[in-house]
Amino acid sequence: MIKQLDDINMSYAFPEVAFDDDYIIATYQCNVPTSDIEKLAMAIADEQTTGTWIKVSHETDDKKKIFGAKVVAIYELPDMGNDMVQPPAPPMHIIQIAYPMRNMGTSFPMILSTLFGNISASGPIKMIDCAFPKKYVEQFTGPKFGVEGIRDRLGVHDRPLVNAMIKPNTGWTPEEGADLFYQASKGGVDIIKDDELMPCNEDFCPQKDRVTLFMQKEKQVFEETGEHTLYATNITDRIDKVRDNAYRAIEYGANCLMINTYTSGFGTLQMLSEDPNIDVPILAHIDFAGVFCGATYTGLSAPLTIGKFVRLAGGDMQINGHPWGKFPFPMKSLARCFRFFTQPWWNIKPMLYLVSGGTNQMMVDKAIKALGTDIVLAAGGAIHGHPAGSEAGAKSMRQAIDAAMEGVPVMEYAKTHKELAQMAQLLGADVSFDLMK
């Protein structure tokens, strides 16, 4: 049967028309060898909505009009002209497909299943972006606090913040952790978090004991220094326990929470952020994110996963990488992720970027020059590994920030700041001046 015009256009739309008709547009990078990219794009659209590999009796035109996806763009790279010049390699394709908002609601499990479910296992296809209409985004609350809310809680608005995670990663007692908390916060750390490997409530470090002791130290340090510290306690657990873990942590005095977002799920983060009884910032931890966005030709892009999805789900701040540390994280990824954390997005507040993964005093100025001052320098080893202890480590990190803010080279600043000089020497810098000054 010859296809009529209405039949053809049922499966296609311009992007701007799809937006106006309440569709969400997903963008895919496609390296699947094919002689018919149009057919492949339609197969993706059908697979993720009403169709399957064979025509079935109840897949009517009416259902397809309401619930079916539409192909809105296919870009071939390079864009082959009629001159038939052969490219040096097979072309890559960028495919955009529009999905009806009603197919997924505001459920993150359904968002992911709809936009990238079965096709994520169909070869070298990578989801590189997703565009949401304003009327869809407005159904989400996003971060409760975000950048300004966290700064307000701490009373700090004029410099980058400092985060330290308790080290070693796990195995410490509440008393040992409380001692490290006191030293680091007295030295000038603004946010202290559990390591992602510290479970919420095991017998060697119970949640109640940990949170209670830490918050006692927070009060003590505030009385001594006038500076508050947020404690992001890890509430990651079986999903049926997470909300109760959050409630109990707040009951014990916690002023911040942390969730291992990529193992718990975006929906778990959304549940916590939208709960009116949880009135503290939430730190989204990045561990396991490499499974989602670590590959070149499959999975999800880093800015989409780490930035857009977590921000929409309500993370107030999130650990993320940088090019000067221990993990491979290129500058282009840093720039793109940071934009997805912070650029205007209607009602969704900006999310605070925690520069982490081998962060130390010698790269502080690089991070500030690249991203500005609305960031958090997140360091574990560079604080707790200081030769004079965690308080000195925290002081040295604040000194490195002061140097960068004043435009003074870090080694010049170290000449009159002992803690910074000691750490610089430990990191291999040439310190030829008196460390006792």
Domain assignment present for 375? yes
The whole-angstrom separation of Cα 147 and Cα 200 is 26
Pick the closest to residue 418 from 385, 392, 381, 384 (CA basis). Answer: 392
Q: Verify that 205 and 88 share a domain, yes or no.
A: no
- The reply to whether 208 and 69 lie within a common domain is no
For residue 230, what is the domain's CATH number? 3.20.20.110
For the stretch 270-282, pLDDT in tens is 999 999 999 999 9
Q: Does residue 392 sit in the same domain as residue 418?
A: yes
The alpha carbon of residue 295 and the mean position of all alpha carbons in its chain are separated, in whole angstroms, by 17
Q: Encode pLDDT of 45-79 as tens digits.
A: 989 888 776 677 677 777 877 888 999 999 998 88
167 counts as catalytic = yes
Indicate the residue among 137, 154, 185 that finishes a domain.
137
Tokens of 24: 């969400």
Contacts (Cβ under 8 Å, ≥6 apart) of 52 = 46
pLDDT digits (tens, 9 = 90+) for 195-225: 999 999 999 999 999 999 999 999 999 999 9
Q: Are residues 133 and 153 in the same domain?
A: no
Confirm if 230 and 256 have CB atoms less than 8 A apart. Answer: yes
What gap in Å lies between CA 262 and CA 284, rounded to an integer? 9
Tell me if 118 sits within 8 A of 6, measured CB to CB. Answer: no
- Asked whether residue 1 carries a pLDDT value surpassing 70, the answer given is no
339 token code pair: 């934009």
| The predicted structure's pLDDT at residue 66 | 81
Residues 66 and 203 in one domain: no
Q: What is the Cα–Cα distance from 298 to 309, expressed in whole angstroms?
A: 17
The average pLDDT across 9-26 equals 84
Residues 232 and 330 in one domain: yes
Tokens (6 digits) for 67:
């619930």
Tokens of 1: 């049967």
Tell me the per-residue pLDDT of 66-112, one tens digit each, with 9 for 90 and over.
888 999 999 998 887 777 677 777 789 999 999 999 999 999 999 99
Mean pLDDT value of segment 317-341: 93
Q: Are residues 58 and 159 in the same domain?
A: no
In a domain, 45, yes or no: yes
Backbone angles phi, psi at 60, to 5 degrees: -85, 165
| Residue that terminates a domain, selected from 83, 110, 137 | 137
- Is the per-residue pLDDT at 38 higher than 60? yes
Question: Integer distance in angstroms from the first to the last C-alpha of the chain?
Answer: 89
Q: Whole domain around residue 111: which residue ranges?
A: 5-137
Predicted pLDDT of residue 53: 61
**Domain identity same for 244 and 289:** yes
Number of independent structural domains in the chain? 2
**One-letter-per-residue 3-state SS of the chain:** CCCCHHHHHCCECCHHHHHHCCEEEEEEEECCCCCCHHHHHHHHHHHCCCCCCCCCCCCCHHHHHHHCCEEEEEEEECCCCCCCCCCCCCCEEEEEEEEEHHHCCCCHHHHHHHHHCHHHHCCCEEEEEEECCHHHHCCCCCCCCHHHHHHHHHCCCCCCEEEEECCCCCCCCHHHHHHHHHHHHHHCCCEEECCCCCCCCECCECHHHHHHHHHHHHHHHHHHHCCCCEEEEECCCCHHHHHHHHHHHHHCCCCEEEEEHHHHCHHHHHHHHCCCCCCCCEEEECCCHHHHHCCCCCEECHHHHHHHHHHHHCCCEEEECCCCCCCCCCHHHHHHHHHHHHCCCCCCCCCEEEECCCCCHHHHHHHHHHHCCCEEEECCHHHHCCCCCHHHHHHHHHHHHHHHHHCCCHHHHHCCCHHHHHHHHHCCCCCCCCCCC
Residue 3 has pLDDT above 80, yes or no: no
Q: What is the pLDDT of residues 144-202, one digit of tens each?
A: 999 999 999 999 999 999 999 999 999 999 999 999 999 999 999 999 999 999 999 99
The active-site residue out of 167, 386, 395, 417 is 167
Distance CA 144, CA 130 (A): 23
Nearest alpha-carbon partner for 234 in 253, 212, 260: 260
Q: What is the model's pLDDT at position 436? A: 54
pLDDT at 242: 98
- Write out pLDDT tens, residues 358-367: 999 999 999 9
Residue 437 within any structural domain of the chain: no
Asked which of 110, 137, 164 is the last residue of a domain, the reply is: 137
Return the ∠ at Cα 25 (arms to 19 and 26), rounded to 5°.
175
CA–CA–CA angle 174, 180, 185 (5° rounding): 120
How confident is the model over 226-230, as a mean pLDDT? Answer: 98
Residue 250 scores a pLDDT above 60: yes
Which CATH number does the domain housing residue 69 bear? 3.30.70.150
Is pLDDT of 432 > 90?
Answer: no
- Report d(CA 55, CA 6) in Å as an integer: 19
Burial of 54: CB neighbours in 10 Å, binned 0-12, 13-18, 19+: exposed
Residue 238 forms part of a structural domain: yes
Q: What confidence score (pLDDT) does residue 91 get? A: 83
pLDDT band at 433 (very low <50, low <70, confident <90, very high): low
Which tens digit of pLDDT belongs to each residue from 115-140? 999 999 999 999 999 999 999 999 99
Domain-located, residue 383: yes
Q: What is the mean pLDDT of residues 215-244?
A: 98
Q: In 3D, which of 84, 124, 337, 21 has the Cα closest to residue 10?
A: 21
Give the pLDDT confidence of 365-398 residue by residue, as tens digits: 999 999 999 999 999 999 999 999 999 999 999 9
> Quick one: pLDDT band at residue 437, thresholds 50, 70, 90?
low
Q: What is the pLDDT of residue 5?
A: 59
- Based on the residue annotation, tell me whether 65 is a catalytic residue of this protein: no
The answer to the question of residue 431 being in a domain is no
303 domain-assigned:
yes
Residues 73 and 34 in one domain: yes
Candidates 70, 285, 322, 386; catalytic one: 285
Question: Do 60 and 156 share a structural domain?
Answer: no
Q: Identify whether residues 225 and 373 lie together within a single domain.
A: yes
Q: Judge whether 436 lies within some domain.
A: no
Tell whether 108 and 250 lie within a shared domain.
no
